[in-house]
Amino acid sequence: MASAASVMERTPVDPVKTGLPGLPIVCWFEDCRKESVPLVGGKCSSLGELINAGVRVPPGFALTTEGYRRFMADAEIDREVASLLAGVDAQDFEALEKTSVRIRAVIEAQPFSIEIEDLVAECYRKLALRCCMPAVPVAVRSSATAEDLPGASFAGQQDTYLWIRGVDELLHHMRRCISSLYTGRAIAYRANKGFGAEQVAISVGVQKMANSVTAGVMFTIHPANGDRSVIVIDSNFGFGESVVSGEVTPDHFVVNKITLDIIDRTISQKQICYTVDPKTQTAQAIEVPFERQRVQSLIDDEITELAWMGKQIEKHYGRPMDIEWAVDKDLPAGGNIFILQARPETVWSEKSQRAAASPGGSAMDYILSGFLTGKKVS
């Protein structure tokens, strides 16, 4: 893996944004690549890689790991955190939670330096100009340097905040993202995996919020049985938070990876979804009207386009992927499906293809059976 310094040698660096030589405090997603994990974490480096691969991704920027380290060092928060963690037993969950609460309170109470505040505010202003929207609503996403490593599933341990507007709210939720590096669960997991505090840093991604009519997750491998011949899509109305958090049983679609035929669909009763409150401009859970609860949340053309995008992303990375996506209701069909993040699938992809094979057969078996029965498969 390339070092952060070598990554930045290939990317022009604005000296105004530089803390230590060669390491920026903030950077735009399009300036990141998959080698940028030491600088912007797994989530943000993946977004930059997708943008440079031609995938449709909402624009944004990141507070880098250098910005995180500067913030933690400015008021010696890093020393206080190390002191609080010293001697804590990773198996003592009650003690871990108490320590986590104290650490998170310390981090969230400490303001950023004037330098970091100014850089973040300037990037937020430029993002609003790019999106032609004052106080553009954003998703604030944690992006830890170890969260998406093959063989270790750190994903989901840090926080994401949706529909954040205004610089003050943005800075507040960025600190909350940083503090989520020290939840009891995250501390225990890193300890059990042998990751020391010096091996994990965090970046915070700030991404234009997709005004989702439908959103969810997509796997380019079957998450239940490891079948690599299919793409699996789960969806619900509104933002994808209800799907990712497991608060709702989503609609479930299985797509043949070769032909892009929908070979299985389950339309669930979706009782809640997340949407934006027009008065407070914040994300909120609402009840789905009864007459819509069993309506398919994605039309078939959108399912096919999503599956095609999933194939391209898997081809680019050369491995099965776990993808979050959204359909933006403010944009016309044909250009309104966005990829919000993509990371390597870590459960089945490390196993051999033989062990992961589905009893249902391969994609070629499906095509041949279609020919034998006279079914159109293309």
The pLDDT tens digits for 185-203 are 888 888 887 776 667 789 9
Domain end: 208, 225, 255, which one?
Answer: 208
Domain end: 147, 179, 208, which one?
Answer: 208
For residue 297, give the 3-state DSSP assignment.
coil
Is 378 within the bounds of a domain? no
Query: What's the pLDDT at 361?
Result: 54
- Summarize pLDDT for 66-89 with one digit per residue, the tens: 999 999 998 899 999 989 988 788
Which stretches does DSSP call E strand in 100-185?
138-144, 160-164
Which stretches does DSSP call E strand in the chain?
26-28, 60-63, 138-144, 160-164, 202-208, 212-219, 230-237, 251-256, 262-266, 272-276, 283-287, 321-328, 337-344
- In whole angstroms, give the CA distance from residue 114 to residue 61: 18
Residue with tokens 């049985």: 225
For 257, 259, 366, 376, the CA distances from 372, given in Å and listed in that order, are 20, 16, 10, 10
Domain end: 208, 237, 266, which one?
Answer: 208
Greatest Cα pair distance, the chain, in angstroms, is 71
Is 260 within the bounds of a domain? yes
Token readout for 135 is 């106080």
Is the distance from CB of 230 to CB of 263 less than 8 angstroms?
yes
User: In terms of residue numbers, what domain contains 150?
Assistant: 4-208
Q: Is 325 left (phi over 0), alpha (psi -120 to 50) or beta?
A: beta
Domain shared by 68 and 114, yes or no: yes
Is the distance from CB of 61 to CB of 167 less than 8 angstroms?
no
Domain shared by 190 and 270, yes or no: no
Residues in CB range of 194: below 8 A, 6 or more apart: none
pLDDT of residue 245 exceeding 80: yes
pLDDT of residue 101 exceeding 90: yes
Is the distance from CB of 265 to CB of 253 less than 8 angstroms?
yes
Q: CATH number of the domain that 81 lies in?
A: 3.30.1490.20
The partner residues of 339 in beta bridges, in order of sequence, read 325
> What value, to the nearest 5°, has the Cα angle with vertex 41 and ends 313 and 3?
100
Task: Order across the sheet with 26-28: list the strands.
Answer: 26-28, 60-63, 202-208, 138-144, 160-164
Is the distance from CB of 222 to CB of 358 less than 8 angstroms?
yes
Q: Give CA 262 to chain center in angstroms.
A: 26
pLDDT of residue 357 exceeding 70: no
Is 149 within the bounds of a domain? yes
pLDDT of residue 112 exceeding 50: yes
pLDDT of residue 371 exceeding 90: no
Count of structural domains within the chain? 2
Is the distance from CB of 99 to CB of 85 less than 8 angstroms?
yes
Q: What is the reported pTM?
A: 0.77
- Summarize pLDDT for 310-336 with one digit per residue, the tens: 999 999 999 999 999 999 988 888 889
Domain shared by 48 and 121, yes or no: yes
Q: CATH number of the domain that 324 lies in?
A: 3.30.470.20
Query: What's the pLDDT at 7?
Result: 34
